[in-house]
Chain A
Amino acid sequence: MAIKGLFLFCIPLLGLAIAQPKKKVPVTQTIAYKQGKEVYKKVCLSCHMEDGGGVPRLNPPLINTTYVLGDKQQLISIVLKGMKERVAIDDEHYSNNMASHAYLSDLEVAAVLTYIRNSFGNKASVVTPAEVKQVRAIIAQSK
C-alpha cells in the first residue's frame, strides 16, 4: 500500500521531469539575469536610471531601441568601448559621453546585457560570455 502510494505520487513527478526540457525557464528566472540586475544597479543605473528610461537630453533610454534590441555585436562593443558619437534615438539627442566598461568581465557584460534586453518591457535573446569574448578579441585586434 505504501509502495503503491509512493508509486502513484511519483507518476506526476516523472511527468514533470520529462516535460522539463521542453518547458523553457523564463530568462528573468536565470542566474545570468539576476547577476545582470546586480551589475546594472552598480554600474548602469546612475545614468540610465532604475526604469531604463535614461535622462532626457543627457543619457539615452534603453527601452525599445535598436541599439539595445538589435545587433548584439554592436551593443557589446558599446559597453566595451564606450560611445561618444551623437546619435538620435526617436528624434532625440543625448549629450553625455558613455565611458568604456572594458574592466567588466565577459560574464558581467553578458549578464548585464541579458538583463537589459529582457527588462523595462524589452524582450530579446540572451547574450553569452562567449559572444562578449569574441567582440573583445575583435576590438583588441583593431587597435
Chain B
Amino acid sequence: MYKKSLFIIFLISAGLRGVAQPNAGLTIPKGFTAVKLVDGYGKVRHIAVTPQGGIYVKLNKLYKSKGILYFKENTTTHQYVLTNSFGNYTGTGIYVKDQYLYASSDEEIFRYKLNEQGDVINTEAPEKVVTGLPSKGEHESKSIVLDNSGNLYVNIGAYSNSCQEQDREKGSMGMSPCPVLNEAGGIWRFNANGNNQTQKAGTRYATGLRNVVGLDWNTQTNSLFVMQHGRDQLHDLFPSLYNAKQSAELPSECMYELHNGTNCGWPYIYYDHLVNKKIVAPEYGGDGIKSTTDYQNPAIAFPAHLAPNGLLFYTGNKFPAKYKNGAFIAFHGSWNRAPLPQEGYYVVFVPFENGKPTGQWEVFANGFAGAIKTPKGAEHRPCGLAQDATGAIYVTDDSKGTIYKITCTGK
C-alpha cells in the first residue's frame, strides 16, 4: 500500500515535471507558447536557424567529441532530431548568412558551405576565415555576427576585469593607457569572405568594451548593437569607496550602438544607471561620484551583473506589433550580487522605435532557473537567441543544454 502510494506520487511528480508543465516551465506573456525542442546537450551557447528551419548550435563542451550540433524537425512526428554533429572544437559563436554557416572557437572563425536544404555540404573541410585571435583566459569567447555588406564582426573580450596592474587585486590601480585595448576589449571587423585573416588583417571597429557576448546586426538602423558585461567587484577592490550593496547594484549592464571608431570607455569609466552618468573608475582616480562626458553613451542600461549573453532584433511578423524591430536579450544570470539575491536568468524585451529604445524594458520569459537563482543552482540559464523565417524565436540554455522555441499563438 505504502509502496503503491509512493509510486503514484512519483507518477504525479513526473507528470508535473515532464508533461503537465505549461510552456516548458517558463512564464511568458499571454498569447505566447513555449516548448522544449531538445534537452540534455550540455553547454549549448549560441544558436543559428537556417531559412529552411534547421537549427545549428555551438557547444562550449564537446558532445560526443563534437562542438556543433544540427537539429531538424521530423516532418511526421514534429520532433526535433539530432541530424548531424561535427567540428572538434568548443566555442560560443555561430551564425548563418548567405548560404554559409559561420562558427567560432575561442581563437578562430570557420565557415561551412550550406546546400539548398541548409545542410552543411562538407563538415570536414571548413574554410578558416579568421585565425590566431587572442584567448588569454578571461572573456575568451568569440561571439560573431555579419552585416549585409560582407563584413564579419567578432568580439575580442578583455582578459582583465578592470585593467588593474594586478588583475582583481584589492587596491591595485589601473594601467594607463590600458595595454589590453591594443588587442582586446573591443569588436574587430573582418572580411566575411576572407581566408586565414589574422587579427592585424582586421579592423578594430569599436573599443572600450570589456566583454561582449550578445550582439546583433540591426537591419533597421543598419548598425551593430552589442551588450557589454560590466566590470565586477567594486567593493572587493575598493572597499573604502563602495559598500557591498553598491557593488551589487553597479555598474550597469549596457547596450551600445556601435559605428566605426566608437569608444565605450572601458576600463576608464563605467555607467551608473541610477544617476545616468559615466563614472570614472576607481582604478583611474574615481571616487564613485566623479563623472565624465567622454565616451559613448549606452542606448539603454540595465541593472548590474545580469550577464547579457544573447541579443536578437525581432524582424518577424508573427508577434504583436510592439515587438517588431525591438530587442530580446538573454540574461544568463548574475553571480556577484551578494549580499543581494542573484538576478537575471531571464529573457527581456526592449521596445524600439526609429532605431532607439523607447520606454521601459520588460521581462519576456522567466522561470529558466527554477527554484534557485544561483549560477550553480539554476536548472537552466538562458544564453543564445535566434529567430526563424516563420517569426518564432529560440532560446538556448548552456547549463543543461535545452533549446526552447517560443511562438505566438494568440491564445
Interchain Cβ contacts under 8 Å between A and B, 22 examples? A43-B236, A46-B235, A46-B247, A47-B335, A49-B335, A49-B338, A49-B374, A49-B375, A51-B376, A53-B374, A55-B376, A56-B376, A56-B399, A58-B375, A61-B376, A96-B137, A96-B168, A99-B167, A99-B168, A99-B170, A99-B172, A100-B166
Q: What 9 additional pairs, Cβ within 8 angstroms, besides A46-B338, A49-B374, A84-B137?
A: A43-B236, A46-B233, A50-B338, A53-B375, A56-B375, A58-B335, A59-B335, A95-B138, A99-B168
Determine how close the nearest CB of chain A comes to the CB of B246; give it in whole angstroms. Answer: 13
Question: Among residues 100 to 117 in chain A, which have CB atoms less than 8 Å away from a CB atom of chain B?
Answer: 100-101, 103
With an 8 A cutoff between CB atoms, is B257 at the interface?
Answer: no
- In the complex, the answer to whether A103 meets B374 with C-beta atoms within 8 Å is no
With an 8 A cutoff between CB atoms, is B140 at the interface?
Answer: yes
With an 8 A cutoff between CB atoms, is A28 at the interface?
Answer: no
Contact check: which of A46, A49, A99, A101 meets B376 at CB < 8 Å?
A49
Interfacial residues, chain A to chain B (CB-CB below 8 A):
43, 45-47, 49-51, 53-59, 61, 82, 84, 86, 95-101, 103
Determine how close the nearest CB of chain B comes to the CB of A101; give it in whole angstroms. Answer: 8
Majority DSSP secondary structure for residues of A touching B: loop
Determine how close the nearest CB of chain B comes to the CB of A16; give it in whole angstroms. Answer: 41
- In the complex, the answer to whether A46 meets B168 with C-beta atoms within 8 Å is no
Candidate in A51, A56, A82 with the most chain B CB atoms within 10 angstroms: A56
Contact check: which of A55, A95, A97, A98 meets B375 at CB < 8 Å?
A55
Chain B residues near A53 (CB, 8 Å)? 374-377
- In the complex, the answer to whether B338 meets A45 with C-beta atoms within 8 Å is yes
Chain B residues near A86 (CB, 8 Å)? 137
Mark interface residues in B178-200 (1 if CB within 8 Å of A CB, else 0): 00000000000000000000000
Chain B residues near A45 (CB, 8 Å)? 338
Mark interface residues in B148-187 (1 if CB within 8 Å of A CB, else 0): 0000000000000100001111101000000000000000
Bound Cα distance A96, B167 (Å): 9
Determine how close the nearest CB of chain B comes to the CB of A92; give it in whole angstroms. Answer: 8
Bound Cα distance A16, B166 (Å): 53
With an 8 A cutoff between CB atoms, is B336 at the interface?
Answer: yes
With an 8 A cutoff between CB atoms, is B273 at the interface?
Answer: no
With an 8 A cutoff between CB atoms, is B60 at the interface?
Answer: yes
Given contacts A54-B376, A55-B375, A57-B60, contact A95 B139 (CB under 8 A): yes
Residue of B with least CB distance to A43:
B236
Given contacts A46-B336, A49-B335, A55-B375, contact A95 B233 (CB under 8 A): no
Chain B residues near A99 (CB, 8 Å)? 166-170, 172
Contact check: which of B140, B169, B170 meets A95 at CB < 8 Å?
B140
Chain B residues near A56 (CB, 8 Å)? 375-376, 399
Chain A residues near B168 (CB, 8 Å)? 96-99
Determine how close the nearest CB of chain A comes to the CB of B231; give it in whole angstroms. Answer: 12
Chain B residues near A82 (CB, 8 Å)? 166, 169
Chain A residues near B167 (CB, 8 Å)? 84, 97, 99
Mark interface residues in B306-336 (1 if CB within 8 Å of A CB, else 0): 0000000000000000000000000000011
Determine how close the nearest CB of chain A comes to the CB of B227; give it in whole angstroms. Answer: 17
- In the complex, the answer to whether A103 meets B60 with C-beta atoms within 8 Å is no
Determine how close the nearest CB of chain B comes to the CB of A95; give it in whole angstroms. Answer: 5
Chain B residues near A54 (CB, 8 Å)? 376
Bound Cα distance A61, B375 (Å): 12
Bound Cα distance A57, B374 (Å): 14
